[in-house]
């Protein structure tokens, strides 16, 4: 029996594929490679370049690989972009998942682990955020992920498709062994942007807003190591296999860091004095997002191994630094 990982060439997807293989699972990847990277997927993992909208291809994969469960990452996932281009988020995220669920149902695949997000909460009334707190998204990205969670709920009621939705807070870091890491083009996330500046790949860091109601005026986020997220997917899969119960879980470390604090940790790790400038707030950014992950710890038996921000930034830094060094070696040898 095999697990289909959609979006398995993306940042969190590729780390999860690596982790599942280490756990001895059989895996196949579907990715359209619009944002993912083929080289992030191990060579011995069957790989299909294609779209979630292609029901024929999805059916082929389910039947030919004896698919038992799906881990579903494939989606557009940028808050700012979703505000500017909401319709593509509805099309790719909601219509794409609808197509996937229809094919799963037809082919009797009854387990799915879904990449959801802290963006479903919008501006929280209190922190740390609990799963039963109100979900009122402030951007189309969060709206589409919340709509999919609801679709999964009804697909379970009607068709017995069991699901675990994982609401990630801020994914960061890289494989501690340095095999793969975070590589978005263009990059919009705070930690890789700061580290790229430390490597001289960009000039300044722009802090989006310093007038938020937080201790230093900048946004506070809960950063979670990408390998701990990978582990959570494995735990979620085991939960559906063993209990046949659906559920929704937050994934974070329960500790918030402001944008300025993150930049300070990056300065310390990279040993470089990164220059910052302040600009206006970015549309759709809530002031504070910090998770209570007690439910994931209790029910999924998820125990993050890398909760310390300095460790997360160090793993990200090693990945970025080595990539920059191997690139300059390639350039040099031409
Ligand atoms: N930020 C800056 N300057 C930058 C980049 C980011 O000040 O150059 C700030 C942002 O405004 C935000 C914080 O740093 O306050 C973190 O921003 P990221 O872009 O790294 O991450 P987000 O919090 O916007 O979003 C991430 C994921 C979403 C997910 C969300 C949930 O990209 O998919 O975490 O917390 F929904």
pLDDT tens per residue across span 58-108: 999 999 999 999 999 999 999 889 999 999 999 999 999 999 999 999 999
Is 104 within 8 Å of 110 (Cβ atoms)?
A: yes
Pocket probe mutation, ligand 1, options 12, 75, 79, 168, max atoms within 8 Å of Cβ: 79
In the predicted structure, residue 197 carries a pLDDT above the cut 90? yes
In the predicted structure, residue 329 carries a pLDDT above the cut 50? no
Kindly report, as residue ranges, where domains of CATH 3.90.25.10 are found in the chain.
190-220+254-327
Is 14 within 8 Å of 40 (Cβ atoms)?
A: yes
User: What is the complex's ipTM, to 2 decimals?
Assistant: 0.96
Quote the tokens at residue 95: 């219509």
Q: What is the pLDDT of residue 326?
A: 66
Mean pLDDT to the nearest integer, 9-33 = 98
Between the CA of 190 and the centroid of ligand 1 the distance, in Å, is 6
Average pLDDT, the chain: 95
DSSP per-residue string spanning 201-252: SSS-EEEE-S-SSSTTSS-EE-EEEHHHHHHHHHHHHHHHHHH---EEEEES
CATH 3.30.70.3000 is held by the domain 2-172+224-251: no
Q: What is the pLDDT of residue 274?
A: 84
Q: Which of 110-114, 131-135, 183-187 has the lowest mean pLDDT?
A: 183-187
Q: What is the dihedral sign for C-alpha 24, 25, 26, 27?
A: negative
Quote the tokens at residue 252: 């974070």
* Residue located via tokens 């809960």: 222
DSSP per-residue string spanning 295-320: HIIIII----S---HHHHHHHHHHHH
Q: What is the pLDDT of residues 152-187, one digit of tens each?
A: 999 999 999 999 999 999 999 999 999 999 998 889
Is 17 within 8 Å of 45 (Cβ atoms)?
A: yes
The C-alpha torsion from 86 through 139 and 184 to 305, rounded to 10°, is -140
Cα distance between residue 116 and residue 250, in whole Å: 9
CA 166 to chain centre: 9
**What whole-number percentage of the chain has pLDDT above 90?**
90
**What whole-number percentage of the chain has pLDDT above 70?**
97
Binding site membership of 249 for ligand 1 (Cβ less than 6 Å): no
Classified by CATH at the fold level, domain 190-220+254-327 comes out as UDP-galactose 4-epimerase; domain 1 (3.90.25)
* Confidence tier at 126 by pLDDT (50, 70, 90): very high
The set of catalytic residues is 141
Name, in order, each residue with C-beta under 8 angstroms of 237's C-beta and a sequence gap of 6 or more: 3, 69, 71, 111, 113, 164
The C-alpha torsion from 25 through 30 and 33 to 37, rounded to 10°, is 10
Mean pLDDT to the nearest integer, 223-232 = 98
* Confidence tier at 330 by pLDDT (50, 70, 90): very low
Q: What is the pLDDT of residue 284?
A: 79
Binding site membership of 207 for ligand 1 (Cβ less than 6 Å): yes
Binding site membership of 161 for ligand 1 (Cβ less than 6 Å): no
Kindly report, as residue ranges, where domains of CATH 3.40.50.720 are found in the chain.
2-172+224-251
In the predicted structure, residue 240 carries a pLDDT above the cut 70? yes
Which residue's alpha carbon is at the smallest distance from atom 7 of ligand 1? Answer: 207
Between the CA of 19 and the centroid of ligand 1 the distance, in Å, is 25
Tell me which of 250 and 323 has the higher pLDDT. Answer: 250
- Closest atom, ligand 1, to C-alpha of 289: 35
* Confidence tier at 324 by pLDDT (50, 70, 90): confident
Q: What is the pLDDT of residue 204?
A: 85
Between the CA of 241 and the centroid of ligand 1 the distance, in Å, is 33
Between the CA of 26 and the centroid of ligand 1 the distance, in Å, is 33
Mean pLDDT to the nearest integer, 212-235 = 98
Is 315 within 8 Å of 225 (Cβ atoms)?
A: yes
Binding site membership of 118 for ligand 1 (Cβ less than 6 Å): yes
Query: Bridge-partner residues for 247, per DSSP?
Result: 164
- Closest atom, ligand 1, to C-alpha of 119: 36
CB atoms within 10 A of CB 185: 6
Pocket probe mutation, ligand 1, options 190, 265, 277, max atoms within 8 Å of Cβ: 190
Binding site membership of 39 for ligand 1 (Cβ less than 6 Å): no
Between the CA of 283 and the centroid of ligand 1 the distance, in Å, is 11
Mean pLDDT to the nearest integer, 284-305 = 96
Binding site membership of 77 for ligand 1 (Cβ less than 6 Å): yes
- Closest atom, ligand 1, to C-alpha of 282: 11
Which residue's alpha carbon is at the smallest distance from atom 20 of ligand 1? Answer: 189
Between the CA of 272 and the centroid of ligand 1 the distance, in Å, is 22
Q: What is the pLDDT of residues 272-289, one digit of tens each?
A: 988 899 999 998 789 999
Q: What is the pLDDT of residues 304-316, one digit of tens each?
A: 999 999 999 999 9
């Amino acid at each position: 029996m095999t697990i289909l990982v959609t979006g398995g060439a993306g940042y969190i997807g590729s780390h999860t594929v690596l982790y599942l293989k280490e756990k001895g699972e059989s895996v196949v990847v579907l990715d359209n490679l619009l944002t993912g990277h083929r080289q992030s997927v191990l060579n011995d993992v069957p790989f299909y370049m294609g779209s979630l909208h292609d029901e024929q291809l999805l059916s082929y994969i389910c039947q030919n690989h004896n698919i038992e469960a799906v881990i579903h990452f494939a989606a557009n996932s940028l808050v700012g972009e979703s505000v500017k281009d909401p319709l593509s988020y509805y099309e790719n995220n909601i219509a794409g998942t609808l197509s996937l669920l229809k094919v799963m149902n037809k082919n009797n695949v009854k387990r799915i682990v879904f990449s959801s997000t802290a963006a479903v909460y919008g501006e929280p009334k209190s922190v740390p955020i609990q799963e039963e707190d109100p979900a009122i998204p402030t951007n189309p990205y969060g709206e589409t992920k919340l709509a999919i969670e609801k679709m999964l709920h009804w697909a379970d009621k009607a068709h017995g498709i069991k699901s675990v939705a994982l609401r990630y807070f801020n994914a960061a870091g890289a494989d501690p062994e340095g095999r793969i890491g975070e590589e978005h083009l263009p990059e919009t996330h705070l930690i890789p942007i700061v580290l790229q500046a430390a490597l001289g790949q960009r000039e300044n860091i722009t802090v989006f807003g310093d007038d938020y109601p937080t201790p230093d005026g900048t946004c506070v986020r809960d950063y979670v190591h990408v390998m701990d997220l990978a582990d959570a997917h494995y735990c979620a899969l085991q939960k559906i296999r063993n209990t046949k119960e659906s559920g929704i879980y937050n994934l974070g470390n329960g500790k918030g860091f402001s944008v300025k604090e993150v930049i300070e940790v990056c300065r310390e790790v990279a040993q470089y004095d990164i220059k910052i400038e302040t600009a206006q707030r970015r549309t759709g950014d809530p002031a504070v997002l910090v998770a209570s992950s007690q439910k994931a710890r209790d029910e999924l038996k998820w125990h993050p191994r890398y909760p310390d921000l300095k460790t997360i930034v160090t793993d990200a830094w090693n990945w970025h630094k080595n990539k920059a060094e191997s690139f300059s070696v390639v350039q040099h040898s031409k």
